[in-house]
Structure 1
Amino acid sequence: MNHYLYFNSRLIQHVFKQAEKLNLGKDWICYQLDLNHIDLELFKSLKPPQYMQHAVAQRQLEFYSGRILTQAILAHHFNFYQPITSCVQRLPQWISPILGSISHSKQQVVVMVSCQVNYIGMDIEHWVSEELLTDGQHLILNQQDLNIWQKAQSYFSFQQFLTLVFSMKESLYKAVYPQVQHYIDFLDASLFEISFAEQRVKLKFSDHIQKKYQLLDEYDGYWQVAPNHIMTWVSQLK
């Protein structure tokens, strides 16, 4: 039996007040939190889970803020108060029919939750560094991704496109991880369709990975661009 980490209502309400609800469609509830507004001292009375006992201060801030914001969303929008943070298992313990995803980049945390989906994965990424742009793109982009770049270059800089692909694949891996339970290389997933009007892509895994883990033939991904970052999510309605 797992032991769970409980957050008091005062702490949940405080974090929730600092968050901003994002309009990403009626089928998902999503909030973004600027960690510059959250003081790590708020969490000093909490006993960290086993896997967080040696985490640095920034990681603690990201972890607690994301988990507490998630509990706030569950309470406010779903009337759900059961804790989802296990003290021994790293991943949130979602209770059907609710599924969600948590991501962070620099000082931003986003949480997306839905009770209308079969799977969900979300990611936030600030624009990739010049180093990754020049030295790491071969670890992210395969030939099918580069084919999409031929269509995307009228809408994105290459830096933005590389960030989009990186983030989409992160969202995809989060969406399928409960089924796969294993790391999948970035080059084993591809974008093969893109719609700029709908801000939507279709993704697929290599034949080997798809068959090995009995994954779907294709997955739908969505994105929203902000001035210095991008948010992506991969999900399917029931």
Structure 2
Amino acid sequence: MDHLSYPAGAVYLHYLAYLSMQPLAALSPSAPVGESFISPLPTQLLNALSQQLIGRLPITLSATYFSVDSFNTSDFARYGIPLPDHFGKAVAKRKAEYLAARLCAKTALQRHRVASLPWMLPEERCPCWPEGWLGSLTHSDGIAAAAIARGTELNAVGIDIEGWIAAQRAERLAPAILREEELAYWHSIESPESRGQWLTRIFSAKESLYKALYPLVRKPFYFHDASVIYDEARPERFKMRLEIDLSDELSRGFICSARSLSLREMAVTLIALPAEDSR
């Protein structure tokens, strides 16, 4: 499994440079001078997300590093992002993750001159997006991202970032995440480290599938309700298959494609459904 490596502290080119050239689909929120809560992703990583993960998909992705230790509740007002009332008693880590993901969403939407922000209702399991837009949010281990698309071009988007699962933890988690046939393949992988990384990719893919499909059906489903059709020859591209009925259109046997990118620190998975795939 090839991992992308990039130097820590690599020089970041302000994303407005990308707006003028418009060659990329991935960008990072700009950080004010002296900012410590967020730090933009290096250009090499943005290139990989644009070229290897998004490709020709009509998706804009914004991502940033963030520091829980440097977070202050006043950062919400400083970045112009409302703190929901039901988040008032949340711990600092949860607030920091929420802010970082919404900041990514704000940056992606502003690229298309959309001023509205996604919001979350207390009873909802997914964010509500501005009219005409859809998207997905993720955060893990100090990195947050938002993937957005026009509703006229896609019917669903799901993105997930996961830090690599360590070998010992993978042994405990595998039965809860993998179906019987997936578990059999997982046991055939010789290296404990490779088993942990393969499990991470499958976990991330199933999370992405949930994020993509839940807004369409408003019905929860679980890890064993979907399976992965994995091709060793193309580990960055595989299929996801539903094993339950979620709706008339999204029934058992429904198959969609997933894209995966392996980085030095984590795995990123993206699912995008054209309108005709889920209607």
TM-score in terms of structure 2 length: 0.69
Alignment partners' CA distance in 2, 1:97 and 1:79: 13
In the alignment, is residue 230 of structure 1 matched against residue 267 of structure 2?
yes
1:70 is matched with: 105
SS at match of 1:66: helix
Cα deviation digits, residues 216-236 of structure 1 (max 9, x gap): 511111100001210001112
Cα separation, partners in 2 of 1:128 and 1:122, compared to 1, 3 Å: same
Contact 1:190/1:204, CA 8 A, preserved across alignment: yes
1:161 is matched with: 198
Q: Compare 223-232 and 18-27 and name the one that shifted more.
A: 18-27
Which AA in structure 2 matches 1:32? A
Cα separation, partners in 2 of 1:189 and 1:44, compared to 1, 3 Å: closer
Alignment partners' CA distance in 2, 1:47 and 1:200: 37
Cα separation, partners in 2 of 1:236 and 1:153, compared to 1, 3 Å: farther
2:75 is matched with: 43
Superposed displacement of residue 32, structure 1: 2.1
Alignment partners' CA distance in 2, 1:104 and 1:198: 23
Contact 2:105/2:117, CA 8 A, preserved across alignment: no
In the alignment, is residue 128 of structure 1 matched against residue 165 of structure 2?
yes
In the alignment, is residue 81 of structure 1 matched against residue 115 of structure 2?
yes
Which AA in structure 2 matches 1:43? D
Q: Gaps (5+ residues) in structure 1? A: 1-12
Cα deviation digits, residues 153-200 of structure 1 (max 9, x gap): 79x811111111111000001111112323212111100243644711
Superposed displacement of residue 99, structure 1: 1.5
Which AA in structure 1 matches 2:171? T
Alignment partners' CA distance in 2, 1:49 and 1:229: 29
Superposed displacement of residue 52, structure 1: 1.0
Alignment partners' CA distance in 2, 1:98 and 1:44: 23
Structure 1 vs Structure 2: percent identity of aligned residues? 24
Contact 1:148/1:194, CA 8 A, preserved across alignment: no
Cα RMSD over matched residues? Answer: 2.9
Contact 1:203/1:220, CA 8 A, preserved across alignment: yes
SS at match of 1:179: helix
Q: Compare 132-141 and 100-109 and name the one that shifted more.
A: 132-141
Which AA in structure 1 matches 2:106? Q
Q: Which of the numbers 78, 97, 115 marks the counterpart of 2:132?
A: 97
Alignment partners' CA distance in 2, 1:113 and 1:174: 12
Q: Which of the numbers 16, 23, 32 marks the counterpart of 2:29?
A: 16
Alignment partners' CA distance in 1, 2:188 and 2:272: 23
TM-score in terms of structure 1 length: 0.80
2:93 is matched with: 58
